Structures are given as structure tokens and as C-alpha cells.
Amino acid sequence: MGITFRRNCADDTVPPLMRGVLGVVAAVALGCTSQAPARPQLVVVVDTDLPAALQSDSHPEISADAVVDTLRIDVLPMSGAAPYDLHTFLVPDVADWPISFGVPTSEGQSTIRLRLRLFRAALSSPGDENGVPTLDPPPEVTVDRVLEVPEPSDVRTVAVTLWGACLGMLPSFGGALATCIDADHPRGRPADGVADVAPSSSRVGTFSGALEAPCGRAGPPTAVCIPGGFSVLGHIGFQGLDDKLELRDSYPLHPVRIRPFFLDKIEFTVGRLRDLAAYSGPLPSAKGTPGIAFSPLCTWTGSAHDSSDDLPINCVTAATAASICQAAGGALPTEAQWEHAARGRGEGRLYPWGDSEATCCTTSASRKGPPGVATECGPGIEAAGSHQAACAGAPGDVSRDGVLDLGGSMVEAVQDQFQPFSAECWGGQGILVDPVCTQAAGQSAARGSYWNGGLSTTAAPFRRSFGASPSAGLRCAYEGG
């Protein structure tokens, strides 16, 4: 039994119209006029509500992290999950949907079992299946649907939709086979959700979870709105970091939906803390405090001194940072909020400003600090927001929404505990909604790089722990309505 890609009328005479990833004939749009006789087969029409890759080019409100461009179809035996026939092809355009293909009947096979995997090719890795090169998608950001249909004696057409709500929901092959059907049936039978009528038009791009959500209220004057929407946390290139420079793996990937929120445009400064009249909580370690080796590099000089007002607060514990944000009417951002903002709200940026590498002009990093630490970019801690303009042809440290210093300046405290993305507190399968990892014990987490860290450490997917030091600062987040 093999897959024959064709028009929906099951016409064996239709020539190839486009080539797929593996060089097989790709599925084509519905409709045909040929009168060639059709042999017995199952014709499958596949649709999706996820956006096609090319849609995000002209619709900035669609998260680029949510788009799909590749469909892999495996023909499975009824006795296991290893395919004996498979095809992979590109479907990046709205015009590619819905897709139809035929599966010829074969003697002795009472049921046809297919595995349909919809994903973005850029996130996949090369694989091999029975000597055939494949694309293996990361399961966390793939719609993975198993389909079972009785083998027809004539030509039968069935339709199935690969719903965005099923992203990251893996089928289970142990015991009774279960697969995600839709949002209301995350663990259904493979025969469920199969229609006998093909759709008259495609649903592609109608998944509301892929769209940005604006702030529904006014925020504080210190902050900018970070529209909510869909993002993928982590990066497939940032694996194997545990125990290196106190970094944690940014893998496995996590698809998330984030509600809109406000985020301080610049890090919390000395001057702002001095002006926070209502604050009576713990203070940062002060410059020159006896017994603290790093105190000469601390920026807090006391409530009566304004000489450091433009500098970001540092030398804070995670508890002090949380207390300051609470007094300011907000809270520390979560890791998910921070990465959503720093990577362009679903644009998957490598750095807050884009994908170009950091330079001394771009961000406050690799600046001279403790003796013996090699640096590239001049002396000391800089005023908050010092890199908001481009210089020497390099962009400034400015995010998509105008937030400054998410790349460098200070490591920023977040609400979460410092746990691998594979930890239980990061949740199970599927799209996580406003996740926060606080159930685990251990060090507090932090995001961003710091003023005397290397330029290469300013990449936004890096994850690290938080501890009171001259590189430890904060910014606050606020409800977005």
C-alpha cells in the first residue's frame, strides 16, 4: 500500500505539479476535470486552522512561531507505529490547502492507518526511516494525528482537520491508541473526527491562538504594552548547556499562549527606587557595605544620594526584587513573559533586536569590571537605556515593542525557579497558557545577560540562575487587561 498524491477525484493520470521535500509528488488543490477511471482507494482531504507560513509575511498580527509549512504522512501497520510508506511535502501557501491524496486498497488489509504530522520545517531535523531520508519534527510543536478508516471497496473520500489546539499533543501507541482530535477531545479514537464531506473552503489561518491580543487597559508610565499571543519558548540550537556558565538547556521547546501585559521599558533604576515613597521593604546591598566583597560595584548609594540615579539597581536578592516590584504595583515577569517580549512575540528572534550578533555598540555587555576578567567594550556599568539608538551600523538593544536592555546591562530576576525546561513544573503536552515554574525548590531563575558578560551571552534563549551580585537587577511587569 502506498500514497498517491492527486486531485480529489482520485485521477491516476494527473501529472506532478510540484515537488515535495523528498521529491515525491505533492498534494494539489481540490478539483479536477479528468474522466480517467479511478481504482479502489481511500481519498483523504486534509485541512488545518493553523496559519500557512506565507500568511505571516503580510499579516504581522499572526505569530510566525505558529505557522506551518510541512506535512508528513506515514502509512502505518495496524501492529505498530513504524511506517512502511511515507511522504513529506511542503505546503507553505494558503493556496496549498486543503490537501488531498489517495491511498490505494490492498488485499488483506481491513483498516487503513495513517499518521499525519504538520509542522514547520525550520524546526525539524534530518532523519531516516527504513533507509528513506525524512524530516523529523520536534513533537512539542507538531500537530500529530493518527487516522484510522476502514479500507473501502470502491473510492471513498474522507476529510480530517489538523487543529491548532492539538499542537504538541502526542498520540499514544501503548495499549488503546489515542490521538488528539480537537480542543474538546485531546485523547480520542483515531476513527473519531472523520467527515465524509470535504470542506468547500479551507480553514487555514483561522486559529485564534496564533493571533496577537492587545492590552485592554492603560499601563503605568514606566512601561510599554507587550501584546499577548503565541510564542515558542526555547531554541533547538541551545541544548547541552547544563552546568556550563550556570546556564540551563533551552530545550525541549514549549508552545505557549501569553496574555497581554506591560513591561518596564528600562530596568528599575536607583532614582526610581529612591522615589518609591511607599517602599519599606528590603533594600539592595549598598555601595561600600563592609564585609561584602562585591559592594564597590553596587549601584545603590542610599536614599539621600542622587549621584547614581540613572544607573540600574543591582546587588539585589530575588526576594528583594519581588518586593520592589510589588511596591511599584506590579510583579516580576515570568520566564515565559520575558522570552515572549525579548524574542519578538513569536518572531523567534535570537536577540531582542533581531538576529544580528551583538557588538559593543549594540548592548551593554563585555564591559570592564573585576580585575582579571577579559572584556571588549570599555569600562563599567552604564546608565539604563544607553543603547536605544543604532551606532556604527549596529542596532541598539531595543525589542520589537521598544523595551530596552533585554540583551545586556543586568541579569533580570523572574518569578520562576531555576529548572530545566524538561522539569515537571513546566507542564505536560500541548500549548501552555501563561506558564510559570514555581512549584520546584532551588535557586530563582533569571533572564538576560549582564554588563560584564560576554557579547555572545546576550542571546535571548539563554536561561540562568539569579543571585545577589553586581550583575543582578530587575524590571517589573504589570497586568495588561
Which three three-digit cell numbers place residue 284? 539592595
How far is the CA of 456 from the CAs of 163, 379, 460, in angstroms? 38, 18, 10
pTM of the model: 0.90
What pLDDT shows up at residue 77? 86
DSSP bridge partners of 370:
none
Of 226, 221, 179, 470, nearest to 344 by C-alpha is 226
The order of strands in the sheet holding 155-162 is 4-5, 99-104, 41-48, 155-162
Q: Give, as one character, the DSSP assignment of residue 456.
A: G
- Give pLDDT tens digits for 71-92: 999 998 887 767 788 899 899 9
Of 394, 361, 377, 350, nearest to 452 by C-alpha is 377
What pLDDT shows up at residue 203? 96
Residue 439 pLDDT class (50, 70, 90 cuts): confident
The order of strands in the sheet holding 432-433 is 229-233, 254-258, 432-433
Q: How far is Cα 201 from Cα 40, in angstroms, rounded to an integer? A: 26
What pLDDT shows up at residue 474? 98
Q: Is the pLDDT of residue 2 over 70?
A: no
Residue 461 pLDDT class (50, 70, 90 cuts): very high
Q: How far is Cα 434 from Cα 448, in angstroms, rounded to an integer? A: 19
What pLDDT shows up at residue 411? 98
The order of strands in the sheet holding 463-466 is 247-248, 463-466, 444-447, 411-417, 472-473
Q: How far is Cα 129 from Cα 75, in angstroms, rounded to an integer? A: 12
Max Cα distance, the chain (Å): 91
Q: Is the pLDDT of residue 290 over 90?
A: no
Q: Is the pLDDT of residue 406 over 90?
A: yes
Contacts of 372 (CB under 8 A, 6+ apart): none
What pLDDT shows up at residue 9? 38
Of 19, 6, 55, 64, nearest to 204 by C-alpha is 55
Average pLDDT (394-409) is: 97
Q: How far is Cα 4 from Cα 433, in angstroms, rounded to an integer? A: 39
What pLDDT shows up at residue 366? 94
Average pLDDT (98-103) is: 93
Average pLDDT (137-149) is: 96
Q: Residue 144 is which amino acid?
A: D
How far out from the chain centre does Cα 27 lie? 28
- Give pLDDT tens digits for 17-51: 222 222 223 333 334 444 455 678 999 999 999 99
- Give pLDDT tens digits for 331-384: 999 999 999 999 999 999 999 999 999 999 999 999 987 666 667 898 899 999
Q: How many percent of the chain have pLDDT more than 90?
A: 70
Average pLDDT (52-62) is: 94
Of 32, 30, 59, nearest to 45 by C-alpha is 30
Q: Is the pLDDT of residue 10 over 90?
A: no
Print the SS3 string covering the chain.
CCCEECCCCCCCCCCCCCECCCCCECCECCCCCCCCCCCCEEEEEEEECCCECCHHHHCCCECHHHCECEEEEEEECCCCCCCCEEEEEECCCHHHCCEEEEEECCCCCCEEEEEEEEECHHHCEEEEECCEEEEECCHHHCEEEEEEEECCCCEEEEEEEECHHHECCCCECCCCCEECCECCECCECCCCCCECCCCCCCCCCCCHHHECECCCCCCCCCEEEECEEEEEECCCCCCCCECECCEECCCCCEEEEECCEEEECCCCEHHHHHCCCCCCCCCCCECCCCCCCCHHHCCECCCCCCCCCCCECCCCCHHHHHHHHHHCCCECCCHHHHHHHHCCCCCCCCECCECCCCCCCCCCCCCECCCCCCCCCCECCCCCCCCCCCECCECCCECCCCCECCCCCCEEEEEEECCCCCCHHHCCCCCEECCCCCCCCCCEEEECCCCCCCHHHHCCCCEEEECCCCCEECCCEEECC
- Dihedral angle sign, alpha carbons of residues 364, 403, 420, 240: negative
Domains and CATH numbers, the chain: 4-208 (no CATH), 212-481 (3.90.1580.10)
Q: Is the pLDDT of residue 294 over 50?
A: yes
